[in-house]
Structure 1
Amino acid sequence: MWMQKYWRAFSLLFTKIWVVTETEYASMPEVFHLDDYDRCMLHGPDALYCSISFQLYPKTAENASDTWKVIEKVSNTQSYYRHDLLRHGICVSQRCPNIPKLELLNNNVHYIKELSDCYSTKFERLSIEGRIRTIHCQTRDSLYPVDFYDYIVGIILLTIIVLVITASLYDAYHSPNFSNENFRTRKFGIFLSSFSIIRNWKKLTTINLNNPDAKALSSLQGIRFYNVVGVIIAHTFTINMAVPILNPRYMESLRDRKIDQFWGLGSRYVTMQTFFLMSIWLLTYKFYKDNEGTKEVPFRYIIQKITSRYLRLTPLMATTILFAATWMPHISKGPLWNSIIGTEYNLCRSNLWNNFLFISNIFPFHEMCANHLWHIAMDMQFCVLALIILWFFWKHPKRRPVILLGIWVFHVVDTFFKTLKIEFKEVDPESSYNTTLVNMEDNLNLIKATATNIPAIIAGVIYGRLFYKYKNTKLLTKKTHVIIWWVLTLTTSLGTTVLPGFIINVFHENYILYTLYICLSRTVFSFGTGLFVWGMTQGHGGIIKKACEWPPVYILGRLTYGAYLIHPFIQRLKAGILRTPNFLNDYLLIFECLGYVTWSFLLSIPLTLFFEMPFEEIKNNTYNAMKKIQKNRQRND
Structure 2
Amino acid sequence: MGVLWFLFVILAAGKALELKNQQYHQMPQLFQLDDYEKCLANGRGAFCLGSFNLVAPPNNRLFNVIQKISEERYNFNHTRIHRGYCVSSRCSDVEEVSLRRKFVKCVKNITQTHHGFDAKLSSLDYCKTSKTPPSRPIDGLDVAFIYFSGLILLMNVIGTIYDFARNPDHKPNRYLITWSLVESWKRLANSYESGNPRLTSLNPINGIKAFFMITIILAHAMFALHSSYIQNPQFMENASRLPLSTLFQNGYVIIQTFIMLSSFLLAYNLLINSEKDPKKGLTLRSLPRVIFNRIARSVTIDKPLIWRIARAV
Same fold (TM over 0.5): yes
Shift of 1:216: 1.4
Paired position in structure 2 for 1:136? 125
Shift of 1:220: 1.9
Structure 1 residue matching 2:225: 3-state secondary structure: helix
- 8 Å contact from structure 1 (residues 48, 137) kept in 2: no
Query: Percent identity between the aligned chains?
Result: 21
- 8 Å contact from structure 1 (residues 71, 83) kept in 2: no
Q: Given the alignment, which residue of 138, 149, 152 partners 1:157? A: 149
Q: Given the alignment, which residue of 314, 318, 326 partners 2:295? A: 314
- 8 Å contact from structure 2 (residues 52, 119) kept in 1: yes
Q: Given the alignment, which residue of 276, 281, 286 partners 2:264? A: 281
2:182 maps to 1:195: no
Instruction: Give the 3 Å change call, closer, same or farther, for CA 133–302 of structure 1 in structure 2.
Output: same
TM-score in terms of structure 2 length:
0.74
Pairwise CA RMSD: 3.8
CA deviations over 1:311-349 (Å, ceiling 9, x no partner)? 3232353334444566xxxxxxxxxxxxxxxxxx3x324
Paired position in structure 2 for 1:121? 109
Tell me, in whole angstroms, the C-alpha distance in 1 between the residues paired with 2:271 and 2:54.
66
Shift of 1:213: 1.1
**Residues 328-343 of structure 1: pairs in structure 2 closer than 5 A:** none
Paired position in structure 1 for 2:5? none
The structure with higher relative contact order (CA 8 Å, sep 6+) is 1
Tell me, in whole angstroms, the C-alpha distance in 1 between the residues paired with 2:96 and 2:224.
34
Instruction: Give the 3 Å change call, closer, same or farther, for CA 203–231 of structure 1 in structure 2.
Output: closer
Shift of 1:266: 9.1
Tell me, in whole angstroms, the C-alpha distance in 2 between the residues paired with 1:115 and 1:39.
18
Paired position in structure 1 for 2:47? 49
Which structure shows the higher strand fraction?
A: 2
2:78 maps to 1:89: no
Shift of 1:92: 1.6
- 8 Å contact from structure 2 (residues 191, 200) kept in 1: no
* Paired letter, 1:310: I
Tell me, in whole angstroms, the C-alpha distance in 1 between the residues paired with 2:224 and 2:26.
28
- 8 Å contact from structure 1 (residues 50, 89) kept in 2: yes
* Paired letter, 1:219: P
2:65 maps to 1:73: yes
**Residues 444-459 of structure 1: pairs in structure 2 closer than 5 A:** none
Instruction: Give the 3 Å change call, closer, same or farther, for CA 156–72 of structure 1 in structure 2.
Output: same
Structure 1 residue matching 2:118: 3-state secondary structure: strand
Q: Given the alignment, which residue of 189, 192, 212 partners 1:208? A: 192
- 8 Å contact from structure 1 (residues 52, 88) kept in 2: yes
Tell me, in whole angstroms, the C-alpha distance in 1 between the residues paired with 2:25 and 2:136.
40
Shift of 1:117: 2.1
- 8 Å contact from structure 1 (residues 116, 132) kept in 2: yes
CA deviations over 1:23-47 (Å, ceiling 9, x no partner)? 4443332121111222112123x43
Paired position in structure 1 for 2:284? 302
Q: Given the alignment, which residue of 348, 351, 364 partners 2:310? A: 348
Shift of 1:238: 4.3
CA deviations over 1:522-545 (Å, ceiling 9, x no partner)? xxxxxxxxxxxxxxxxxxxxxxxx
Structure 1 unaligned spans of 5+: 1-10, 105-110, 327-344, 352-637
TM-score in terms of structure 1 length:
0.40
Tell me, in whole angstroms, the C-alpha distance in 2 between the residues paired with 1:272 and 1:198.
30
- 8 Å contact from structure 1 (residues 52, 135) kept in 2: yes
* Paired letter, 2:52: F
Paired position in structure 1 for 2:212? 227
* Paired letter, 1:132: L
* Paired letter, 2:259: F
Tell me, in whole angstroms, the C-alpha distance in 2 between the residues paired with 1:192 and 1:317.
19
- 8 Å contact from structure 1 (residues 20, 70) kept in 2: no
Which structure shows the higher helix fraction?
A: 1
Structure 2 unaligned spans of 5+: 1-9
CA deviations over 1:553-604 (Å, ceiling 9, x no partner)? xxxxxxxxxxxxxxxxxxxxxxxxxxxxxxxxxxxxxxxxxxxxxxxxxxxx
Tell me, in whole angstroms, the C-alpha distance in 1 between the residues paired with 2:202 and 2:178.
27
Tell me, in whole angstroms, the C-alpha distance in 2 between the residues paired with 1:87 and 1:237.
19
* Paired letter, 1:215: T
Shift of 1:179: 1.3
Shift of 1:135: 0.9
* Paired letter, 1:120: K
Shift of 1:115: 3.0
CA deviations over 1:252-297 (Å, ceiling 9, x no partner)? 5456xx5469945995453333322322322332343344599998
